[in-house]
Chains A and B, each alone.
Chain A
Amino acid sequence: MADPAVASGGSLNAGGRGSGSKAATSPAENYYMARRRTLQVVVSALLTEIGFESAEKAAVETLTEMMQSFITEIGRCAKAYCEHTARSVPTLSDTVVTLIEMGFNPDTLPVYAKRSQRMVITAPPVTNPPVTPKALVAGQKRVHPAHIPSHFPEFPDPHTYIKTPTFREPVSDYQVLREKAASQRRDVERALTRFMAKTGETHSLFKDDITTFPLIAAQPSSIPYLSALLPSELELQALEETDSSEQDDQTDSDNTAGNIISDDPNADKENPMLPPNGVVPSAKNNEDNMIDNPYLRPVKKPKVRRKK
């Protein structure tokens, strides 16, 4: 009767080690601690049985550890055997084989169990085994279909594999979408402009009611042409998305080429001629890499004598 207790204790303990060690106050931890204390009592009883009158704490601790390891190993091994034969619960034979495997003769066990001087230890106080918090059960678990044996694991909760409609069916009607997009944008724009109007100076079209149609006041800028001519960032983005324009590539490459070359002091008049039509200059550029443009030439240092 001790065996199953030991075995189960070992296995439980093993599980405890895996998870434990940090949260000593949690119920599960208490549970494992209680087990270990029981084991310690057992070790002490065995020592007393053998004839020790006292033992150092460290020694008892070591022995407890050894005992625990032994039991754990038996449990682990038995479990392995059982799983090896495609079962989930170890049987007696599994344990026996395990014991043999560990060099332990199982035949001696009954004799040992029936020895006269053995001390009876009271059963450890039963603490509630820790309850693994129940996973939220959502919906009915599916039963196995006929071709799957029942020992196979159950299906997980349906929500883990079934798509869960958390929103309504999206409207894909074009008209409605356009309508929505339009009104959404309009709302955003209106809200934004109203906000801007509220927070800044305004013009009003009506003297009696300055809030109904607030117009953001016109602010003169120092360089008005910049904002009027340069495309806004929004537009630029859109442009990048829509095309990588070819003419930009051309001019870009040409110009950078031109700039690099510009500081070549020996650039002589290579290019007084117009490029013949149709020739893409980027190709041409590479050969005669000399753009001789007076505006690209470096500025000369003043000559000392040169003083008109």
Chain B
Amino acid sequence: MNRKKDKGFESPRPFKLTHQVVCINNINFQRKSVIGFVELTIFPTVVNLNRIKLNSKQCRIYRVRVNDLEAPFIYNDPTLEVCHHESKQRNLNYFSSAYTAAVSAVDPDAGHGELVIKVPSELWKQGDDLKVLKVYIEFSLDQPKGGLHFVVPDVEGSMAERGAHVFSFGYQNSSRFWFPCVDSYSELCTWKLEFTVDASMVAVSCGDLVETIYTHDMRKKTYHYVLPIPTAAPNISLAVGPFEILVDPYMHEVTHFCLPQLLPLLKHSMSYLHEIFEFYEEILTCRYPYSCFKTVFVDEAYMQVSTFASMSIFSTNLLHSAMIIDQTPMTRRCLAQALAQQFFGCFISRMSWADEWVLKGISGYIYGLYLKKTFGVNDYRHWIKEELDKIVEYELKIGGVLLHPTFSGGKEKDNPTPHLHFSIKHPHTLSWEYYKMFQCKAHLVMRLIENRISMEFMLQVFNKLLSLASTASSQKYQSQMWSQMLLSTHAFLKSISNVSGKDISPLIKQWVDQSAVVKFFGSFAFNRKRNVLELEIRQDYTSSGTQKYVGPIKVTVQELDGSFKHTLQIEENSLKHDIPCHSKSRRNKKKKIPLMNGEEVDMDLSAMDADSPLLWIRIDPDMSILRKVEFEQADFMWQYQLRYERDVVAQEEAILALEKFPTPASRLALTDILEQEQCFYKVRMQACFCLAKIANSMVSTWQGPPAMKSLFTRMFCCKSCPNIVKTNNFISFQSYFLQKTMPVAMALLRDVQNLCPKDVLNFILDLIKYNDNRKNKFSDNYYRADLIRALTNSLTPAISINNEVRTVDNLNADVRLILEEITRFLNMEKLLPSFRNTITVSCLRAIRQLQKNGHIPSDASLFKSYANYGHFVDVRVAALDALVDYTRVERCSTELQWLLNMVQSDPSHYVRHKILGLLCKNPPFTKNTDSTLCNEALVDQLWKLMNSGTSHDWRLRCDAVNLYYTLFGLTRPSCLPLPELGLVLNLKEKKAVLNPTIKPELGASNVVDTAASIGIHGVGMSFTAVDEEPDPISLGVCGVGQPPQGLKRKVETPLGSPPEPGQVLQQQEDDGRPGRYKIRFNTMEDEDIDMETVHDSQAFIHHQLNLLDRPSTPGKHIQTTTTARTQNTTTGAKPRNTVPCFFLLLLSGKEPPSVEQSMLSMPATPVPSFAKESASSMSSKHGGGGGSSGGGEHGGHHHHHHEHKKKKKKHKHKHKHKHKHESKDKDKDRERDNAHAFSNSPASGRSLRSPSLSD
């Protein structure tokens, strides 16, 4: 909200970049390497510019020169490894904050960078007259993992013949991955780009191709590009390959590039691009800002569409021939999206990350206008509803999406989105899903603004922004005008208020500065006496992702006399709204009923309530609030709404609502809609599925043939022989889509036994059998794929007898038929592949479904072979999906490992991203479930993956974080043994961050108390030990060590914070698995038994543990400890005494080597005595518990005791979280010692002793 600051753009850098040269003079496809240099022309804006920070990742930098003087430089990339390897921290909170810190540390928007160049001192004085500096950097990239992607097919021939190509990619600002630059959207400059490539290749890049020149040996050529329009480095891209070139026949300055052999597809796919150009230029009344435009279609694209200044890189899979129906609108959408972003995103860039929403919003909005024009209003409204549903679902499930985050004062504490497991401070820390939703919300909000100020004004605003920018773009740098090309939220809002004169700040406040959506519940009653509709609108604004809405809301009421719009005011406390009804006359005569759009229709009014004139009611029909509405009205009202309301959104809402009313009347309404040709096809498609659901609910009373069968027969089968489908003719796309959908929906029908009805299955099999596409102008691949999908839908779980192994012989007869079709389809695909291998994709899904339902043996090998590199990407994703599902169902760790290996090694970035996405969507286990898959090795592996394994790809790293979150949650994974170190202190930040999630869990768990009490035991010991066992050493350990630690602790207190170990402990108990806990003690006891013989250090450790444990053992100690505890709680100061121990632990944790060394030498003398002491303490403990000193028994006691205390102390601990955490640490330490002391390092845990010894 503090948009005051932007009175113009203030660069965070002490210099201004004006021009940059990027020259890549060698691209080696064999070695996948690149050599080149950059030269940045900068104007210092401070007097003594001695350091220049630039962004660079991956690049090997050979030399840096500033104005021809060699300049020293430092290269440090903290994001390479977020948490350093010695850290055993495994909780996501810790990671997220460390990652955010790492990203911030090199954030160009804050003036930082990985590459720090020291300006030679000779040049310093130049700063006075602010002279130009030229920074020249030579660099190379060797097998880059990010930024540039090499696709080198493994076939015979030269690189060009093989179709090898390379292109730049990345999520958000990622140019630093392939050349050193200021990788910020707000640092604009002009560009000169030179690329020397093999003579058989084409280099496509941003700006105008000035000339192409052969090298002297004529074997290579150099492409010279000039981009005179100031552009940010992230908007620079490159694609090199043996591209086929197509000059757009309608616009000669537009050039299309595709890989060899695809030219015919390119011609067809690009044949309507000019229409999109025309559309945007017309509505924006502004020319396309660049002098040329290039589209490049590449294989293994990172995203379907990525746009850069004057060029866009698309996935080659968007290309299609004229025979393909389904892909056509998708490709057009992608092109339109890319082009919209050319205006807003490339040409006009954002001022800061917080302003991203404006650009995404505007480009999304004008893209929507294109959709409306091209695909029609119905499709547009359908799309808007879809987007709205998506964002609402996401926000209600995950939490709010904040469009304009403000970080006041840069304090991380004011995290505006505490519900998220990642920071939204940087684009690079966002989860991909969140970013998608962010874009979705941005354009919906833009639409809300349009609703408020009208489209004319909206377009005027855009035009104004564009003309300002284009004026600025033609200026020389010195005029300081370039910042006009940067768009900020403030400038945008100002422009809106200037143009429209309207105040939209409430709207902005509600949707932009605040996250979350609105959830309405509506119901009504008709008051006949007053002839008034009493509408009640309630809100849920307490659950996550919701907010309160106050303001106007539109309601339309369809009455007998017509449709009426009402605007109600939602206020703080008013729930009820009285709306007077217009229709006084009850249906006296047959009269046509006027609809909203002026149409007058005859209706059969017999279904309605005789007392009320209301046909249906809609809340917020124009979707002018980001909301979810749950409205209650009678089934007949929904049916009227479905039949007679002309708005597709209303129809879809009605369909959704009718699912709850499985009556013959609903059935009829749906069937009528299905048959109605004028009805929007997507509504009809949706009606199919609703009808299937209704039929299933009505299964016992259903009359006649299965739902939709006779309808399908009438529409698509031969008149003479109704069981045979007509030969395909897909000229009418609407009926094509319906023909595709109906079998899929029909297959969802179930009979009384919950099986798919026999005649439905046979019907589908007949459709497959009689499918004949020979006379069709269009390909039927999607149709056939959907028929397989229908077969898949018809599957129900197999009746399993005694878990027998699935064999061919006991295959169900129907399933056998299905399987034969699938086998044949899948095999035919090998000989005659379908477009995008849609059939294979469907078949793989079907096979997985067969496996899952127990018809055929569950087996992953088939999917594995299809998931391998070398198959078409859609097939791979389908196979991976099946594998992920297999992993979850079978809990198979080898498959999971296989998938994770692929995440690390697959050449395709998209597939890597997809695997993690699929794993998140369908996780093998979650934090709340128990699984054998969840083990330490997996935690380590995933940790490694997100910590250092994915540093080359922002998106992938966030995916890994997401997966980690899905599997383990925010806290330390429960499967881990307790950590070696009680507290981990972040020396860099001089603090140990308190895990915020500990708190909520504390309240719920008892174990915290255990932990706390254990912690306190230590203290109790120091007071009580004297009475019981006058043991100077133990006193020394706890008591003597305290004072200095306490001091330190005090110093550190504000920084220090309870660590997570305690919570692990607590989690374990939470999970109802105290066993682990016990076992640990058992092992300890076992060791104790051989105390005399074990290694000294071990004995020492055990002793320590026993010291700590003692108070909690049954017997007389109880009292003393409890008193000690009460003392602690009352005095408040004393519990702190416990802290120092941990704190030292902390320290030692941070610097293990030194501590370890010191400790290794320590135990030599004290051990024997300790051992004895502990042994004696043991026996004393056991005294209460019976003669045998069996470990298990002891452990049992121990545990029991904890619980006992828990109950006692619960309330007291509430206000003592801090102490608890600390004590938990101690506890955890102990645990860790137990777990690790024997296996890991003898040094572990010894830190306990360090205080006394150091003293």
Contacts and interface: CB of A to CB of B under 8 A. Distances in A.
Pick from B320, B777, B869 the residue with the most CB of A within 10 Å.
B777
Given A174-B720, A206-B857, A223 B155 contact: yes
Given A216-B827, A230-B265, A302-B214, A295 B245 contact: yes
Given A205-B856, A224-B871, A248 B268 contact: yes
B74 interface: no
A296 interface: yes
A178 B808 contact: no
Contact of B249 (A221, A255, A297): A255
Given A193-B824, A193-B828, A274 B278 contact: yes
Contact of A225 (B211, B249, B317): B317
A299 interface: yes
Interface string B441-459: 0000000000000000000
Given A218-B865, A220-B869, A239-B777, A251 B249 contact: yes
A61 interface: no
A213 B823 contact: yes
Interface string B297-336: 0010000000000000000110111110000000000000
Interface string A41-66: 00000000000000000000000000
Contacts of B868: 218, 220
Contacts of A146: none
Contacts of A224: 870-873
A231 B208 CA distance: 34
Given A196-B827, A255-B247, A271 B253 contact: yes
A182 B769 contact: yes
A274 B277 contact: yes
A242 B777 contact: yes
Contacts of B1133: none
B721 interface: yes
Interface stretch (B427-435, B572-580, B831-839, B1194-1202): B831-839
B824 A229 contact: no
A229 B214 contact: no
B826 A205 contact: no
Contacts of A183: 769
Nearest to B826: A215
A198 to B, nearest CB: 11
Interface in B8-51: none
Contacts of A192: 831
Contacts of B1255: none
B251 A275 contact: yes
B826 A223 contact: no
A291 B322 contact: no
B835 A229 contact: yes
A103 interface: no
Contacts of A223: 153, 155, 163, 299
Given A295-B247, A296-B247, A272 B253 contact: yes
A179 B720 CA distance: 13
Interface in B743-757: none
A293 B772 contact: no
Given A232-B833, A250-B249, A295-B202, A189 B807 contact: no
B819 interface: yes
Nearest to B838: A228
A214 B253 CA distance: 53
B198 to A, nearest CB: 12
A96 B498 CA distance: 130
Contacts of A199: none
A205 B246 contact: no
B271 interface: yes
Contacts of A107: none
Given A193-B824, A203-B862, A224-B872, A255 B772 contact: no
Nearest to B211: A300
A286 interface: no
A254 interface: yes
Contacts of A239: 321-323, 777
B212 interface: yes
Contacts of A277: 278
A247 B271 contact: yes
Contacts of B1221: none
Contacts of B251: 274-275
A281 B250 contact: yes
B776 interface: yes
A208 B805 CA distance: 10
Nearest to B209: A294
Nearest to B829: A216
A234 B832 contact: yes
A18 to B, nearest CB: 56
B859 interface: yes
A213 to B, nearest CB: 5
A254 B830 CA distance: 36
A212 to B, nearest CB: 5
Nearest to A211: B808
Contacts of B317: 225, 228-229
B828 A235 contact: no
Interface string B246-263: 110111110100010110
A241 to B, nearest CB: 9
Contacts of B278: 274, 277
Contacts of B221: 299
12 contacts: A174-B720, A182-B770, A206-B857, A212-B808, A221-B871, A229-B835, A235-B779, A238-B773, A239-B321, A272-B253, A294-B212, A299-B199
Given A178-B724, A225-B873, 8 more contacts: A206-B807, A206-B857, A212-B808, A227-B872, A228-B837, A229-B262, A255-B246, A297-B211
